[in-house]
Structure 1
């Protein structure tokens, strides 16, 4: 690349062949706050909210390790109806819970802290979040907004644009919550297929970054099983055991019938040579890769 060429981290990641499996950040709880104005580079942290409310929400979110995302509908006008907020929760039982509300004043957002302790509602359709946070990273906008547009046209009630979800170099990134499933490396066509299949209970390995309730090596193990045996539902495979020796992991993955019973998946974790991993961060960093080295069927 010459000094006059613009750097795009997602293009560079594709040229390098950066592995995508095992790159989903941990998360069981998401707080969504609709904000139709310009998003600060650091998202919710940069909003000019009443300090007491902001501190209350930040503390409550931190206590449950919730990710706070600003959201908006694709192409909607700023004055169109009340602003919404939501608390989305994935439980260890596999249950998905949601609680929604509206806000017009900063003080109304104090309700979000209370919602973090409420049970939430079962049975609501999932939320599809598309990272299009251009002020955080150029690729998130360049690649994310076309995906947000096409998904919003197909599922207008499910899809929201959102602020940074992690992994800029894997843009376009889509998160299905509270399912806790990260997809990356998407474009307009592949995003429609991925979401359509997800909603039909068929998660494919091709664009899967991982499940957010699993550690990265476990994510890579499940993705490898999906790649070998084909798409499956969110709970068709369960991580039943994990052991580690240095940089090597052994992960037991079991399946619900009629799929093959169980597998021991060997994963090696290592760091890559330093690269520029984001558009706006010129510093060189190494990435942690989780490579599946073997898979043995048990029973």
Structure 2
């Protein structure tokens, strides 16, 4: 609680020591729609757009499990000319692609449906998204806006404020797309350092929530390796096998970094006691935590997947 009795979910999570690793939502496609005005609490769903155009975008995004985010430049400054939209595709081999367009009328958003079905352009710089969605959660605004300002001053062409990305209690949240990398627990200073290192292809484990092409226990494993052995490139670690038995995983990871060639890693999960996880939500909810219990080194690169469990 703050001095005036208000509850802030990010303060509470920080006090509890809620782990970041393993909390990035799964996905590989993003739809970005520039909307500089106020955002409804439910983002794109709450916009008063022309119904046919809105339905077309929603259906096309849903078909490929794309996440729709509203974006704007820091300070809600009005765009010069038409507003922009983008479709970003992440490829697990690193061949990420983007397609950008513009819209002045709601009907122009129909171009997003075609872009979702197209290949897109490779080699474009990544997009840095900072969640500042105050109508969704207070901490996203309180903690996100200073981060948005700091990053926008450093990389004005790459950085956008965005609507809800998940994990309010980990604000400030930054997503680099289409790289598919979630960072959390950032402030103005740590965000600049984290993004600068990311753009130099050096991902650090300290603020990493996870890679969106991995599932939560796999995300926790990669974060643990980065914390133990230091930063590595976005594709420095590759998960090659995952076996599960109840709340226990055994995950094999290959590496291109100077550390040993492969690891067999044990992970256990457990649910926390019920607690308030967002500023606006009054209900109590539990969260799943993934704990890396051992990291075993495989001295020679193995020819096949990890052995079956059980």
TM-score normalised by the shorter chain: which range applies? Answer: over 0.9
Report if aligned partners of 2:37, 2:76 keep a CA contact under 8 Å in 1: no
Corresponding residue for 1:98? 98
2:291 equivalent to 1:291: yes
Secondary structure, aligned partner of 1:152? helix
Instruction: Report deviation, 1:260.
Output: 1.4
Tell me what 2:145 maps to: 145
1:278 to 1:257, Cα distance in 2 relative to 1, 3 A: closer
1:67 equivalenced with 2:67 (yes/no): yes
**1:79, 1:264 → 2: CA distance?**
50
Q: CA deviation at 1:197?
A: 0.2
Distance (Å, rounded) in 2 between the aligned partners of 1:143 and 1:82: 29
Under a length normalisation based on structure 2, what TM-score does the superposition of the two structures give?
Answer: 0.95
Report matched runs for 1:1-150 at 5 Å: 1=1, 5-78=5-78, 80-150=80-150
Change (3 A) 1:257 1:140: closer
Give 1:68 shift: 0.1
Task: Tell me, yes or no, if structure 1 residue 249 matches structure 2 residue 249.
Answer: yes
TM-superposed CA distance for 1:13, in Å, is 0.1
Please list every run of 5 or more consecutive structure 1 residues that lacks an aligned counterpart in the other structure. Answer: none
Aligned position for 1:178: 178
Question: Does the 8 A contact of 2:232 with 2:257 survive in 1?
Answer: no
Distance in 2 (CA, whole Å) between partners of 1:163 and 1:149 is 16
Gaps of 5+ in 2: 300-310
Residues 235-275 of structure 1: per-residue CA shift (max 9 Å, x gap): 01000100001100001011015331001111101100000
Segment drifting more, 148-157 vs 48-57: 48-57
Q: Distance in 1 between matches of 2:261 and 2:3?
A: 54
Distance change in 2, residues 1:182/1:79 (3 Å): closer
Give the Cα–Cα distance (whole angstroms) in 2 for the partners of residues 155 and 2 of structure 1.
33
Following TM superposition, by how much is the alpha carbon of 1:91 offset from its aligned partner in structure 2, in angstroms? 1.6
Query: 1:116 is paired with a residue of what secondary structure?
Result: helix
Question: What's the counterpart of residue 302 of structure 2?
Answer: none
> Which aligned pairs between 1:222-241 and structure 2 lie closer than 5 A?
222-241=222-241
Local SS of the residue matching 2:14: helix
Preserved contact between residue 130 and residue 159 of structure 2 (Cα < 8 Å): yes
Aligned: 1:264 with 2:234: no
Distance in 2 separating the partners of 1:10 and 1:108: 38
**Larger CA deviation: 126-135 vs 83-92:** 83-92
Q: Which residue of 2 aligns with 1:194?
A: 194
- Show structure 1 runs of 4+ deviating over 6 A: none
After superposition, give the CA deviation of every residue in 1:210-250 in whole Å (9 maximum; x if it has no partner). 00000000000011111111000000100010000110000
The separation in 2 between residues aligned to 1:187 and 1:44, in whole angstroms, is 26
The two structures have a TM-score, normalised by structure 1, of: 0.98
2:204 is the counterpart of 1:220: no
Question: Aligned partners of 1:135, 1:82: CA distance in 2, in Å?
Answer: 25
Cα deviation for residue 81 of structure 1 reads 2.3
* CA RMSD, Structure 1 to Structure 2 (Å): 1.2
Offset of 1:4 from its aligned partner?
Answer: 5.4
Any idea what the Cα deviations from partners look like across 1:272-297, whole Å, max 9, x if unmatched? Answer: 00000000001000001001111000
Secondary structure at the aligned position of 1:11 is classed as helix
Displacement after TM superposition at 1:16 (Å):
0.4
